[in-house]
């Protein structure tokens, strides 16, 4: 009987050639979806904020250690839903008032944060009690001392954001001038002082700012943002321009 190994070999060879030929057939990828390119996170822009702090009307109730972080946390409440903008304090950091009453720890902390401490005699921030029956202060009052810095800021603008920590209504007109000139005004005022003096006339000092905070909350944990009432702004300005001096004395610069 003739051997059959030859036929088997030919069949094996044919099969292997067929497999080899199909391996060279290109596979179409036209219907395979491409993976989307990874999206880059938008860069975070930083806007700097000059801070002017009237220590007499917004005193320090908690340790100063960490105060800059808490203030910046509060400022960033206004854009909590945005990942593209954050606020940070600029190098312009001025504190006026009875700074000599600060503890050594607070004094050292504030100086290490770059605050310039300007000693000014204490005074009350209300119209009816404003230096009433007292001698004229030897040092410039806090509002005048800060006005100098604010004026210098207007003449040499580096940033366009100002945080004023004060409950002294004397700053009202100056803040409005800065606001009209394109500055974004952040205000922090004491909840204790806010409800007295000028507030009894139905107007609010915080109406001069774009954003306002209760100082006690800002200082404590970086919260306290509340929204001024825009419709009251025009009533405030009518008091200013028509000279209701009991509310806005003529000493306003």
* pLDDT of 112 higher than 80: yes
Per-residue pLDDT at 104 exceeds 70: yes
Highest mean pLDDT among 13-22, 39-48, 102-111: 102-111
Give the pLDDT of residue 110: 97
* Domains of the chain from N-terminus onward: 45-241 (3.40.50.1010)
Structure tokens at 80: 């909590």
pLDDT value at residue 97: 86
Q: Provide the pLDDT for residue 74.
A: 96
**pLDDT digit string, tens, across residues 1-40:** 555 555 554 455 455 555 555 556 555 556 666 776 766 7
Bridge pairing between strands 45-54 and 85-97: parallel
Phi, psi for residue 53 in degrees, rounded to 5: -120, 120
Residue bearing tokens 């954003």: 211
CA angle at residue 63 from 150 to 137, to 5 degrees?
A: 45
Separation CA 130–CA 148 (nearest Å): 20
Q: What percent of the chain has pLDDT over 90?
A: 25
Confidence (pLDDT) at 127: 41
Among 71, 36, 108, smallest CA distance to 217 is for 71
User: 179-228: per-residue pLDDT in tens?
Assistant: 777 788 898 988 765 444 444 433 455 566 788 888 999 999 999 887 65
Phi then psi for residue 153, to 5 deg, are: -65, -40
| Cα gap 158→144, rounded to integer Å | 21
């Amino acid at each position: 009987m003739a051997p059959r190994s030859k036929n088997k070999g030919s069949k094996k060879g044919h099969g292997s050639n067929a497999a080899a030929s199909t391996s060279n057939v290109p596979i179409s990828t036209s219907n395979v979806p491409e993976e989307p390119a990874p999206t880059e996170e938008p860069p975070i822009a930083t806007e700097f904020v000059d801070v002017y702090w009237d220590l007499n009307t917004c005193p320090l109730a908690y340790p100063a250690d960490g105060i800059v972080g808490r203030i910046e946390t509060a400022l960033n409440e206004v854009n909590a839903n945005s990942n593209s903008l954050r606020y940070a304090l600029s190098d312009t950091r001025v504190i006026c008032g009875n700074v000599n009453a600060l503890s050594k720890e607070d004094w050292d902390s504030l100086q290490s944060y770059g605050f310039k401490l300007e000693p000014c005699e204490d005074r009350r921030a209300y119209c009816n009690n404003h230096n009433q029956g007292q001698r004229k202060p030897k040092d410039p009052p806090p509002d005048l001392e800060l006005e100098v810095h604010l004026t210098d800021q207007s003449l040499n603008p580096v940033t366009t954001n100002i945080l004023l920590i004060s409950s002294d209504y004397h700053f009202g007109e100056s803040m409005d001038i800065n606001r009209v000139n394109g500055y974004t005004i952040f205000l922090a005022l004491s909840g204790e002082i806010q409800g007295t003096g000028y507030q009894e006339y139905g107007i609010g000092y915080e109406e001069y700012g774009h954003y306002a905070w209760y100082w006690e909350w800002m200082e404590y944990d970086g919260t306290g943002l509340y929204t001024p009432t825009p419709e009251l702004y025009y009533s405030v300005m009518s008091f200013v321009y028509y000279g209701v001096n009991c509310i806005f004395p003529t000493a306003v610069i």
